[in-house]
Structure 1
Amino acid sequence: MTTPLPYRTALIVGAGIGLSASLCRLLVAEGIKVGLAARNAGKLEPLAAQVGAETFAVDASSPREVIQLFDQVDARIGAPDIVIYNASSRVPGRLTDLAPETVRKAIEISAYGGFLVAQQAAKRMLVDRNGAIFFTGATASVKGFARSAAFSMGKFALRGLAQSAARELSPQGIHVAHVVIDGSIRSAAHPDPVDHVDSTLDPDAIAQTYLALLRQPRSAWSWEIEVRPWVETF
């Protein structure tokens, strides 16, 4: 027998048409009201119309806009008891060539925005001592590649935030988890190579892992989990 989710409303920040869309469809199928937030909310309208989700515009690195986002979500669909932070920024390039201001902004989106969103989420969840805050990580969360300083710094910081928040909030009834996506996510623009089947992660399969995390009994919560294709090397 499937355990019902102890949640009613979800907010996905940094939403797009890949993993976020899979998460949205899966949560709606579970009877969860879903809000989708992104800098360009217009790109989310087709998905929102298809599944009955609400869309919101936000710059996740702006404290003012994040506060406004949660106020709008509260008013339109109710305070979220599931919050998933998917926003990130990649600025590839040699260390000596990177523009400092561009790197600063990338870290703000990948990590500082996660703090802002988690802070607003926690303030609401602590009232009932119930909720889930999930952060989407990457291979760069645990492995800093060459020419990827900005992305690695942001993802390492996000992982540190998740670990700290899990230790602080879990004893207060809030499940905090960090999901390391160790590999490329499959999409129409980036399909599996015909000669290397299943070498990318199916976003629907990743979403199932998030759902399994949401269903975990609190006596056995995970704060971090990794997912990778079966052919991926460690």
Structure 2
Amino acid sequence: MTESVVWVAGVGAVAGLGAALARRFAREGYRVAVSGRSLDKLQAVVAQIEASGGKANAVVADSGVEADVLAAIAQVNQLGTLKAAIFNVGNAVSAPALELSAELFEQTWRASTLGGFLFAREATRALLANGGGSLLFTGATASLRGKPPYTAFAAGKAGLRSIAQSFAREFGPKNVHVAHVVIDGSIDGERIKSRAPEYLAKLGEDGSLKLDDIADAYWYLHTQPRSAWTQELDLRPFKEPF
């Protein structure tokens, strides 16, 4: 019997959501394929998982490049039986609309929307061949509404949400659970700690989403009985006012 595999795309810092998702599934005995653009960061996540007794492999890939995604799924399929795939790529670009270049807008769309489609297409092919599984997407507040100065980010995330909805309707009846997770608040991870520590402190205790708590929600989605699947889950801190 081959090992059950989860593919997590969009893995960066050890103290990031992608790494937390990888650790959560590794804890359940899954072999984790972590993919992203930085080999050094991927290797750090793999080393951490292996130090805890888990199994992980680094797969360098840019999700917005079709050739990279095709090469990545080939590597993933060699590791065992893909049973879960998580698209966690984020690119929270901010720029005033009149200063937003076409190039930056396209880069943001490519990372979120095109990348999400390519990942979903190839992961779903594998999941169908393996009898089903879970396809999960990380969304954001911007998935639901546009707000300056996040025009490009909102457009990319809204497109990703539409992809998740379309795949859910098409492949749910074929035993692929597709869910979109709206992260509606600040994540207590490396990004905010390094860029806005004062803001994080201002949020106070449990005022930001904790990585392990988010990861638990993804595991819950993966293990839901199919008579009551969730298609979209909204996660926010208890004190979030909007």
Displacement of 1:159: 0.4
CA distance in 2, matches of 1:163, 1:21: 25
**SS across alignment from 2:97:** coil
Contact kept, 8 Å, 1:89 with 1:109, in 2: the verdict is: yes
One of 97, 100, 106 as aligned partner of 2:99: 97
Contact kept, 8 Å, 1:95 with 1:149, in 2: the verdict is: yes
Mapping for residues 37-186 of structure 1, pairs under 5 Å: 37-52=35-50, 53-75=56-78, 77-186=79-188
Normalised to the residue count of structure 2, the TM-score between the two structures is: 0.90
Displacement of 1:90: 2.4
Contact kept, 8 Å, 2:84 with 2:135, in 1: the verdict is: yes
Structure 1 counterpart of 2:45, which letter? Answer: L
Displacement of 1:145: 1.1
Moved over 6 A (4+): none
**SS across alignment from 2:105:** helix
One of 203, 208, 212 as aligned partner of 1:204: 212
- State how many pairs are aligned: 227
Unaligned 5+ runs, structure 1? 1-6
CA distance in 2, matches of 1:195, 1:147: 22
One of 193, 201, 221 as aligned partner of 1:193: 201
Alignment-derived partner of residue 4 in structure 2:
8
Task: Name the structure where helix makes up a greater proportion of residues.
Answer: 2
Alignment-derived partner of residue 28 in structure 1:
26
CA distance in 2, matches of 1:116, 1:79: 19
CA distance in 2, matches of 1:195, 1:105: 31
Contact kept, 8 Å, 2:113 with 2:156, in 1: the verdict is: yes
Answer yes or no: is 1:226 the counterpart of 2:234.
yes
Structure 1 counterpart of 2:214, which letter? Answer: I
Normalised to the residue count of structure 1, the TM-score between the two structures is: 0.93
Structure 2 counterpart of 1:67, which letter? Answer: L
